[in-house]
Chains A and B, each alone.
Chain A
Amino acid sequence: MNQTLLFLIPLLPLACAVLNMLFGMRLPRLVAETLAVSGVAASFLLTLLFWGYADGAGTHALLGTWLPVGDITIPFALHFDALAAPMTLMVTGVATLIHLYAVGYMHDEEDYARFFGLLNLFVFAMLAIVLADNLLVLFLGWEGVGLCSYALIGFWYQKSENARAGTKAFLVTRVGDIFLAAALLWLFALTGTLEIAAINARAASFAPEVLTALTVLLLLGACGKSAQLPLMTWLADAMAGPTPVSALIHAATMVTAGVYLLCRLFPLVSLSPDGMAAIAVVGALTALYAATCALAQREIKRVLAYSTMSQVGYMFLAVGAGSVAGAMFHLLTHAFFKAALFMAAGCIIHLAGGENDILRMGGLFKRGPRELFWVFLAGALCLAGAPLTGGFFSKDGILLAVYTQGTPLFLALWGIGLLTALLTAVYTFRLVYLVFAGEPRGHGHPHDLPLLMRRPLWPLALLGLCGGLLNLPPLVGGHEWLTHRLGTLAGREILAGHSIEWALAGLATGLVILGWGFARWRYGQFRGEQENRASRFLLLGWRADALVDLLFVRPFTAMAGLCAIGCDRALVDATLDGLARQTTACGERLRGLTTGRVSTYLAGFVWGFLIILGWFLLALVK
């Protein structure tokens, strides 16, 4: 087989997106939906087919030249290696299941062609990020996912708050994109190439402070896309989009693009200890921040959004601790169980008749379909990190990597990670109890769930539960398949004694049980939620929106007002308007002279003649 066939993986979804966007509304609905699903499914099968290409140093595929500028050419090239292959498989696999779910979810939607076109386009852009061989192709995908995310958050744009949420996501991620673009240009100036492998190879020759600055720029870029501090305000609002979009873009794939970027450039990033510490600090603080916010949220999807932010924070922490394998492991398991949780949340909202306030739900265990409960519980156990689930092993791996760094800073971050694990268990089980336990508190009447909305949940929940097999530590008889598969890309090797590993695993288990116990005590019987200052503070996400408003939006608006009124209107407009007014007044006065009467004009002639005559006479006299 030809390596160029690798291009089929991203291009099939693109082709389906274009077809759906151009002709989707003219095709029968079934054809449009089949097209969307089959494009992604075909990519998934192709990834499996080409799996062997990722062996060793991976395979390089070249489609053509994109930008020939002087003696530099930027090609359309893909790099399919051990880091990209699992990510591609995850993206296409999860996307296939979510597309299937979306067919059921969007059953009554009129505008299905736009939806499926954008969803397919998103998969293309995400695959461009994952498979990119040079940073410009990656940036193309990076902007592409941003665009699709914007368009899909505001999919129901008739409600202006949805459109506003889309704009907010677009603008906040754009701040991060600027930093990424700056890093790209700097790297290009330093190396004269944008090829990822070449940059990684030459990174060792950069000055240490340049490396740190580059790492911080890349980190800020990644923060925008992955909703990390300080660019995290958009993710919770992004839940305004349809649930399949939340599951695909804002849980499983796009928000992990930042982690993937840092993993891709890990050889560069890892050379700067300060940069690594910054990544770890950002990750740990975001994990804690988002976990506290999730404790007080009332909308089911916002709880999940904050938990996503928190889990992505763990991934950043893993990268900062030097464990690419740990980050990728958590990325994969998180994608499975969080997609399952989101899709189950979509089913729950559907069953509750559009209600998404968990305080007005309840009783779904008795009333709803039992399978929904089991799927949601499976996802929740993974999220909380209950022993032997995928989330347990991946989170444990990260905490172990952080602990083995050993410096005081990393020990403090480890403490934050443990605290976050406890909070995660609390808010996860709070969600489960509020939704499923007790008697129904809402007025929703049970609907039937379409089969397409139920079936895709199972494989994801199973993958989440069994995700630990991907990278099972030797402690419990595993071979760390993912770490071996990544080989040289796996980052720092984690060396720890068995006793420490057992102790950490026991600690994590204890925290989960503690969190579960607390949630059971507090939310086992619904007692209402009394609102106080602390819970309002957390509900509003530490008032981060108000802070951004105060620090940036209001000064910006004031500045704009100053420019508009003080500069534009008072100076520029006033000058031009004044000139125009003076000219008009002058013309008005002069207008009186043209009476239209011949006699006036003749008199004018004569006076002019006399003046000229007088002038000549005067000249003659002199």
Chain B
Amino acid sequence: MIVPFAHVLIFAAILFTMGLGCVLARRNLIMILIGVEIMLNAAAVALVGGSAYWRQVDGQVFVVFLMAMTSAEVAISLAMVVYLRRRRGTLEADRFDGLRG
């Protein structure tokens, strides 16, 4: 393996943190979804790195699942984004506070 495993993990961690930062900092629903995608991809990178390091195929299988799941998630969440935009006329996440106690 050309790239050391530690570098792969550090890269995945940086990617994850950036995704998390995006989710926490942004208020636009689409941007939050993009942040979530980045976090998922960071996890995928870590899995692929682990698979290459231990020479096991499980990690790559997981990543295939992850991609399928991600595409499904994106399909649903974008549909909801369109619906919410039509209904409330905004995508500001803080405006959707119907669960306030």
Contacts and interface: CB of A to CB of B under 8 A. Distances in A.
Contact of B94 (A593, A594, A599, A606): A599
A595 interface: yes
A596 B98 CA distance: 6
Interface string A592-612: 011111110011001000000
Contacts of A443: none
Interface residues of A, number: 11
B51 to A, nearest CB: 24
Interface string B28-47: 00001000000000000000
A591 interface: yes
B96 A598 contact: yes
Contact of B20 (A593, A594, A599, A606): A606
A585 to B, nearest CB: 15
Interface string B65-77: 0000000000000
B15 interface: no
A590 to B, nearest CB: 8
Contacts of A591: 101
A603 B99 contact: no
Interface in B48-91: none
A606 B24 contact: yes
Interface residues of B, number: 13
Contact of B24 (A593, A595, A596, A603): A603
B93 A599 contact: yes
B100 A594 contact: yes
Contacts of A595: 97, 100
A22 B99 CA distance: 61
Contacts of A599: 24, 27, 93-94
A545 to B, nearest CB: 62
B23 interface: yes
The residue in A594, A596, A606 that gathers the most chain B C-beta atoms within 10 A of its C-beta is A596
Nearest to B20: A606
B101 A602 contact: no
Contacts of A603: 24
Nearest to B93: A598
Contacts of B24: 599, 602-603, 606
B93 A594 contact: no
Contact of A596 (B20, B23, B32, B100): B100
Contacts of B94: 597-599
Nearest to B97: A596
A591 B93 CA distance: 20
A597 B93 contact: yes
A327 to B, nearest CB: 81
A594 B27 CA distance: 18
A466 B62 CA distance: 120
A597 B96 CA distance: 6
B12 to A, nearest CB: 15
A606 B39 CA distance: 13
Interface in A566-622: 591, 593-599, 602-603, 606
A583 to B, nearest CB: 15
Contacts of A593: 101
Interface in B1-33: 20, 23-24, 27, 32
A594 B101 CA distance: 5
Contacts of B96: 596-598
A584 to B, nearest CB: 14
Nearest to B100: A596
Nearest to B25: A599
A586 to B, nearest CB: 13
Nearest to A590: B101
A603 B25 CA distance: 10
Contacts of A596: 96-101
Contacts of B100: 594-597
Contacts of A597: 93-94, 96-97, 100
Contacts of B99: 594, 596
A596 B95 CA distance: 9
B9 to A, nearest CB: 15
Contacts of A602: 23-24
Contacts of B23: 602
A380 to B, nearest CB: 85
Contacts of A594: 99-101
Nearest to B99: A596
B49 to A, nearest CB: 20
Nearest to B21: A606
A484 to B, nearest CB: 94
23 contacts: A593-B101, A594-B100, A594-B101, A595-B97, A595-B100, A596-B96, A596-B97, A596-B98, A596-B100, A596-B101, A597-B93, A597-B94, A597-B96, A597-B97, A598-B32, A598-B93, A598-B96, A599-B24, A599-B27, A599-B93, A599-B94, A602-B24, A606-B24
Given A595-B100, A596-B100, 7 more contacts: A591-B101, A593-B101, A594-B101, A596-B98, A596-B99, A598-B94, A599-B24
Ranked 8 nearest A-B pairs via Cβ = A596-B100, A596-B97, A594-B101, A596-B99, A591-B101, A597-B94, A597-B97, A598-B93
Interface of A: 591, 593-599, 602-603, 606
Interface of B: 20, 23-24, 27, 32, 93-94, 96-101
